[in-house]
Amino acid sequence: MKLYDLELSGNCYKVRLFAALTGIEIDIEAVDFLAGEHKKSPVIDLNPWGELPTFTDGDLVLRDSQAILVYLAQAYADEKWYPASAAARAEIQQWLSTSANEIQHGPADARLIDKFGFKLNKEHSLVISDRILGLLEAHLEANDWLALGHPTIADCAAMPYVGLGWEGGVSLDDYPNIQAWIARIKALPGFIPMPGI
């Protein structure tokens, strides 16, 4: 298995983190993002979206961080990370969608603007951030983990850009339950950090 990787990408970190927590071995190939290597061969041949992470396992090619988590969890990890029942899968899917939607367009976009100079609407990213952090905070007041009462791929998908939001001016100071959740993830056996987390 190979991960075409960017160290500063929270989406790539989702995959590195889950692999570390579960002991899955993946070859990491660093891609020079600033040089635009993700828009050139071999990445663009594998992934027409020209994005990182790009992941391969034999003939299988995946382009989305949530999809890579689903694949690794079902194919290679203990079932507890992605239990097989329809209700469990759906509960986790809610947070995979939240990760691709509100968390991506809230704290992740805010960070893209401040840290990497992306031309996005900062005010809009902060509005989305406020809403999703409030909902997360309330959920984590009654729950130690996002889904099913234990760590799952939902936590690996959602945490990185929540934890990196401060690099876009999205502070967690007013969200003690979110801070405690991130601390619980950091205390899991095998946890690895990334720059900013």
Q: Rule CB under 8 A: which residues touch its own copies?
A: 48-49, 60, 62-68, 70-71, 74-75, 86-87, 89-91, 93-94, 96-98, 100-101, 104-105, 120-121, 124, 135, 138-139
Q: Say how far apart CA 186 and CA 178 lie, in whole Å.
A: 12
Report in angstroms how near the CB of residue 49 gets to its own copies at its nearest: 6
Report in angstroms how near the CB of residue 124 gets to its own copies at its nearest: 6
CB 173 within 8 A of CB 117: no
Which CB atom, from 69 or from 172, has the smaller least distance to its own copies?
A: 69
Which CB atom, from 120 or from 188, has the smaller least distance to its own copies?
A: 120
CB 108 within 8 A of CB 147: no
Half-sphere exposure of 99 (CA within 13 A, CB side): 24
Which CB atom, from 56 or from 164, has the smaller least distance to its own copies?
A: 56
Which CB atom, from 89 or from 184, has the smaller least distance to its own copies?
A: 89
Report in angstroms how near the CB of residue 183 gets to its own copies at its nearest: 23
- List C-alpha distances in Å: 56 to 1, 43, 73, 133: 6, 11, 15, 33
Q: Say how far apart CA 135 and CA 190 lie, in whole Å.
A: 28
Report in angstroms how near the CB of residue 186 gets to its own copies at its nearest: 25
Three-class secondary structure of residue 48 per DSSP: coil
